[in-house]
Amino acid sequence: MSVAGATQTGGDRARAERAIEAVWRIEQARLVAGLARMVGDLGLAEDLAQDALVAALERWPRDGVPDNPGAWLMATAKNRAIDLIRRDRTLERRNEELVREAGLRIEHQRADLDLAAEREVGDDMLALVFTCCHPVLAREARVALTLRLLGGVTAAEIARAFLAKEATVAQRLVRAKKTLREAGVSFEVPRGAELEDRLPSVLEVIYLIFNEGYAASAGEDWIRPALCEEALRLGRVLAELAPEEPEVHGLIALLEIQASRLGARLGPEGEPVLLLDQDRARWDSLLIVRGRRALARAEALPRPLGPYGLQAAIAACHGAALTAEETDWVRIAALYGALASFAPSPVVELNRAVAVGMAFGPELGLEVVDAVAADPALAGYHLLPSVRGDLLERAGREDEARAEFRRAAELAGNEAERELLLRRAGD
């Protein structure tokens, strides 16, 4: 024990409580993952983990912080699981399996704090990722459950980040766990074709979390760095757990390079700064290097780059340009063309229009925009008039551009972005 209970002071207690908070943040996902493998129920696994946390809050300030706090929490939670299962006669056989897995005596008078049960932790964590992002759940539920169980983010914190009511997020979490249980979703890593089918759902959730931090869809703040950091952490974990999946490395490459710009996306008064106007000296060169390395890992794997890898290659083009004028827009336009062939989308076409306009002139960019402007998927999408306004402005058609910027401002949900668009309209 690192703190002697017999001579505990107020400072000792405060240190113990800080240690509990830090350990919980690090160990929660691994704890829930290991318990979910044992009991096959995410809700029960989280309850058991919470029980272990309560025990730590009661005992560590008094007895001291264990030398291996993660193992202590796991042993405590597993002992609790065994107690619960022994009381349920319908699960007697499963009880025997749990005892063997945990390597504990049923008469657990002293837990083995050097558990060898940390084996398979990688598979457990990967199974937790795939379970939280299972397609049976709605997109909002996947995001909330991933942040809650893998990120240790509270319902209140999720609600603040996404401008939702805490009660709504709490209900969403409860329903998500109930849905997984009722659907009989297995807590396991999918294999082969099933893994490939479900991986996009996992990557989408991580990217959604990052994007909400990078360009908030609503509220007053344009960026929410904490969400970007959480998505980066989750992406890095996934990249280590699935090293042979090129799209995983493509995604983390994209996130690393985009995150490098966060410090330059706001001006002195907190106002949004667009990409071409940013001070590139404020870009984080370390994150750009990390992104390039992740992209190189994706490119070195046998399969070709997918949508995230192609977007990472586009981001790398921006990261390689010391000034906006040096940007290789011809290559970016070609990469967007490849992306549009791989994953057709009107939003991709909007981005391609920007690149085409920069590489070959705004009139050609407008042709790309106008070809998709009537697509129902873009109805009410503020970036359609925003992109069109930008191209019209560069073409010297200023009155038309101002009208488009006003329309974009009306559609924008984020207050900071709305103000930026109104400034561009001259209002």
Residue-level pLDDT at 120: 46
Residue-level pLDDT at 216: 84
Q: What is the pLDDT of residues 23-76, one digit of tens each?
A: 887 788 888 988 988 888 888 888 999 898 899 888 888 888 888 888 899 899
> Please, which residues bridge with residue 219 across strands?
414
In a domain, 270, yes or no: no
Q: What is the DSSP letter of 9?
A: -
Positions of the chain with pLDDT lower than 50, given as ranges: 1-7, 89-91, 104-121
In a domain, 86, yes or no: yes
Q: Which of 277, 294, 284 minimizes the C-alpha distance to 262?
A: 284
Identify whether the C-beta of residue 164 lies closer than 8 Å to the C-beta of residue 158.
yes
Residue-level pLDDT at 106: 38
In a domain, 195, yes or no: no
Structure tokens at 43: 């809700």
In a domain, 105, yes or no: yes
Q: What is the pLDDT of residues 226-280, one digit of tens each?
A: 889 989 988 998 898 889 999 999 999 999 999 999 999 999 988 999 999 999 9
In a domain, 63, yes or no: yes
Global pTM value: 0.77
Q: How far is CA 115 from the centre of its chain?
A: 30
Residue-level pLDDT at 96: 58
Radius of gyration of the chain measured on its C-alpha atoms: 25
In a domain, 93, yes or no: yes
In a domain, 230, yes or no: no
Q: Which domain holds residue 49?
A: 5-110
Residue-level pLDDT at 288: 97
Structure tokens at 194: 């099933």
How many domains is the chain partitioned into structurally?
A: 1
